[in-house]
Amino acid sequence: MRRAIFSAAAAVLVSLTSAPAASAQSTPQQPQRPQAFQQRHDPRKVPVAEGYGGAVATVDHDATKAAISVLKKGGNAIDAAVAAGAVLGITEPYSAGLTGGGFMVYYDAGKRKVFTIDGRETAPRKMTATSLEGIPFDEAVTSGLSAGVPGTVANWDLALRTFGTYSLKQALQPAIEVATKGFVVDQTFHDQTAANADRFKDFTSTARLYLPNGAPPPVGSVFKNPELANTYRELGKRGPGWLYGGGLGKEIVATVKRPPVTPGSTRNVRPGLMELSDLRAYRALLREPTKVSYKGLEVYGMAPPSSGGSTVGEALNILEALPQVGLHEYLEASRLAFADRGAYVGDIPRVPLKELLSDGFAKERACLIGQTAMPHPAAPGDPDGRYGRCDRPSGTATPVAKEGPETTHLVVADRWGNVVAYNLTIESTGGNGIVVPGRGVLLNNELTDFTFGPAPGDPNLPGPGKRPRSSMAPTLVFDDGRPVLAVGSPGGSTIITTVLQILLNRYDWGMTLPEALAAPRATQRNTERTEAEPAFLAAHQAELESMGHAFTENPEIGAATALEFLGRGRIQAVAEPTRRGGGSAMVVSTRR
C-alpha cells in the first residue's frame, strides 16, 4: 500500500512540475449536464424561480411561502429564515424542530461582513468520553441518551436579536398558522412516517401524534399539529427562557430521563443524562466563518464544531492546486479532505483550522493525487505549517462514522442584499423518535454524531458540554466582495460532498445552478467505495473504474437548496427538481 501511495504521488509530481506531461494528460472526466427534469408530487412546488426583491428556496412549499410573505411584509432575510425554519418544524418534523440544532451563515449587506451562528446541540455536563462506548449505534439512535441540549431556539433568538427586525413571537406566527390549519401530507412525509412506524409505536406520545389511527397519515390527508402550534405560541409569549430553564425545559428533561415507552414494548430505551442546569447553560454562539479563495472567488462556510467549512474548503484548495479538475480529482480531493476531517476536526480547542485551510497544506495533499484512485484508506496529512515537499502522510485513517440522510437546508435573500444559508436538524429522520408529551415535537438524537469509542485521541469523542462534530455546510460564495451564490444540503457527511460537487458543477464544469443541483451525485468520504446515484453510475462508472475507483449505489444523495445573484438585482432561487419529492423556490417579485 505504501508503495502505491508513493508511486501515485510520484506520478502527479511529474504532471505538476512538467508542462509537457500535464498537457499530455487526457481531458479530465467531467459530468454530463442533466436532462431537463420533471417534478414528482406536490404540484405547487416549483424548483426554480427568478426575480427581484428577495428570494427563498426550501424543501417545502409552506416554508418557502412563509419566508416570502415575511419578506413581502418588510422582514429581512434573518426574519424570513427563522419563520421558514419554524414552519419546517411542522411540515418537515422528522428533519427539523425547535428541539434540534443547526448552523446559520449570514451575509450582512449593511456591514459587508459574513457572520455565522452555531446553534449546535451540546452534550449534558454528565456526559464523558466513555458514555457512549459499547452502546450499539441503533440502540443509541432511539434513546434519551442521544438527545442533545437543543440549540435551535437559542439560534433563532440570537439571530433575531442581533440581525433581525422581528420578535421571536412574530417570526413564529406563520408556523402557528400552518400547524393550526394543517398541511397536505405528501409521499415523502408518508414514507418517512412509515419508515419510522416501528419505533414511533413504542412511544405513547409519538404514536398518538404520528400514527393517528395506528398507521401513518395517508397521502393527501391534512395533518394538523395543534400541540406544536400551542408550543410555538407559548414560546413566543414566554421567550426562550421557557425552554432554557423554564417549564418547557423541565418537560424536556423529564422526557429524556423517562421516555414515555408504550406499555408492553420490548424496546430497550436508554434514559438520558440531561438536567435543567444543562438547558440553563446553553448558548448559541457567534463564530468566525471559514474562508478560502477558489479560482478568484471567496468561499465562506461554517467553522468547527461543524466540519462543513473546513472540509469543503480544504477540498477546494486541493483542487485549486491541481492542473485540472475532473470527476477523478473531485473524488480524490474529497477523500483526502475527509481523512483530515476525521483526524483533526471536532469541538476541541486544538483544531488546526488555519493550517487545514492553508494553500501550503493543500499543495502537499494535492501531491498525492495521481492518475489513478489512491489506495484506501487515505491517511491524514500533517497540517504542521512545514510544507513544500510531497510528504507521504504517516497518520492513521479514522473510519467514517454512520450518518443518515436527514436534516434540511434553506436559503433566503432579501431586498437589502442580506443572505442566509441555514441548516437545521434533529439528526436522524424522526430524531430519537420521542415526542415530548403534549408539545407536538420530537427530540433530537444529535449526540449520535459523536464518535462512540473507544478511540483514543479522536477529536470527536463525547465530553461534558461538548458539541458533536457536524457535517452541515451552509456556504456563501463571493466574487470581489459581492455575494454571488448561497448553497447547502442535508445528508449527514454527504452534505460536504454535495456542496462541493455543486460548486464544481457550477464553477468548473459550466453548469447553470439548476443543472448543478439536478446533476447526479457521487460521494467519496475516505471510504473504500464511492457511493453514487444510479444516473451517475450509468454515465461515469466504467471510466472511473478504469482509473481504480470502486462504487456502490446510493439511490439519492442530498436535497440541496441554493441561490445565485445574476446581476442587476436579479436572483435565481433553486431547489431540487426531484430528490426528496422536489423543493420549492420563490421570489418576491418576478419584475424589477
Select from 336, 307, 318 the least CA-distant residue to 524.
336
Interface with ligand GLU by CB under 6 A: which range of 200-208, 466-474, 541-549, 580-588?
466-474
Which residue number, 99 or 425, has a Cβ lying nearer to ligand GLU?
A: 425
CB of 107 to ligand GLU, least distance (A): 22
Tell me which residues in 169-228 interact with ligand GLU (CB under 6 A): none
454 contacts 133 by C-beta, under 8 angstroms: yes
Which residue number, 274 or 472, has a Cβ lying nearer to ligand GLU?
A: 472
According to the binding rule CB under 6 A, does residue 425 interact with ligand GLU?
yes
Burial class (CB in 10 A: 0-12, 13-18, 19+), 20: exposed
SS (HEC) of 504-567: HHHHCCCCCHHHHHHCCCEECCCCCCEEECHHHHHHHHHHHHCCCCCEEECCCCCCCEEEEEEE
Active-site annotation holds for 407: yes
Which residue number, 92 or 427, has a Cβ lying nearer to ligand GLU?
A: 427
- Of how many residues is the chain composed? 592
Tell me which residues in 305-334 interact with ligand GLU (CB under 6 A): none
- Rounded CA gap, 524 and 333, in Å? 9
369 contacts 5 by C-beta, under 8 angstroms: no
Which residue number, 322 or 426, has a Cβ lying nearer to ligand GLU?
A: 426
- Which DSSP string corresponds to 175-216? HHHHHHH-EE--HHHHHHHHHHHHHHTTBHHHHHHHSTTSSP
CB of 425 to ligand GLU, least distance (A): 4
CB of 403 to ligand GLU, least distance (A): 5
Q: How far is CA 416 from CA 112, 432, 512, in A?
A: 11, 39, 25
Q: Which of 76, 142, 317, 407 binds ligand GLU (CB under 6 A)?
A: 407
Cα angle 520, 522, 524 (rounded to 5 degrees) comes to 170
- Rounded CA gap, 6 and 382, in Å? 16
CB of 477 to ligand GLU, least distance (A): 21
Which residue number, 164 or 491, has a Cβ lying nearer to ligand GLU?
A: 491
According to the binding rule CB under 6 A, does residue 406 interact with ligand GLU?
yes
**Which of the residues 193, 231, 407, 498 is marked catalytic?**
407
Select from 420, 425, 479, 473 the least CA-distant residue to 449.
425
- Rounded CA gap, 573 and 150, in Å? 30
CB of 31 to ligand GLU, least distance (A): 23
Which residue number, 199 or 549, has a Cβ lying nearer to ligand GLU?
A: 199
- Which DSSP string corresponds to 259-322? --BPTT-----------HHHHHH---EEEPPEEEEETTEEEEEPPTTBSHHHHHHHHHHHHHTS
Binding flags for ligand GLU, 469-508, as an x/- string (CB under 6 A): -xxx-----------------xxx--x-------------
Select from 477, 458, 476, 478 the least CA-distant residue to 468.
458
Select from 243, 222, 223 the least CA-distant residue to 232.
243
Which residue number, 103 or 107, has a Cβ lying nearer to ligand GLU?
A: 103
CB of 499 to ligand GLU, least distance (A): 12
- Rounded CA gap, 323 and 17, in Å? 10
Q: Cβ of 31: how many Cβ atoms within 10 Å?
A: 24
Which residues lie below 8 Å from residue 546, measured CB to CB, with a gap of 6+? none
According to the binding rule CB under 6 A, does residue 403 interact with ligand GLU?
yes
Give the alpha-carbon dihedral of 122, 126, 132, 138, to 10 degrees.
Answer: -60
According to the binding rule CB under 6 A, does residue 427 interact with ligand GLU?
yes
Peptide bond connecting 305 to the previous residue in cis, omega within 30 degrees of 0: yes
- Rounded CA gap, 413 and 77, in Å? 6
- Rounded CA gap, 430 and 450, in Å? 18
Interface with ligand GLU by CB under 6 A: which range of 40-48, 253-261, 464-472, 562-570?
464-472
Binding flags for ligand GLU, 525-544, as an x/- string (CB under 6 A): --------------------
Tell me which residues in 436-455 interact with ligand GLU (CB under 6 A): 446, 449
Which residue number, 524 or 541, has a Cβ lying nearer to ligand GLU?
A: 524
CB of 54 to ligand GLU, least distance (A): 27
Interface with ligand GLU by CB under 6 A: which range of 142-150, 204-212, 402-410, 548-556?
402-410
CB of 471 to ligand GLU, least distance (A): 4
Which residue number, 100 or 174, has a Cβ lying nearer to ligand GLU?
A: 100
CB of 500 to ligand GLU, least distance (A): 15
Q: Which residues are catalytic?
A: 407
Give the interface with ligand GLU as residue ranges (CB under 6 A): 403-404, 406-407, 425, 427, 446, 449, 470-472, 490-492, 495
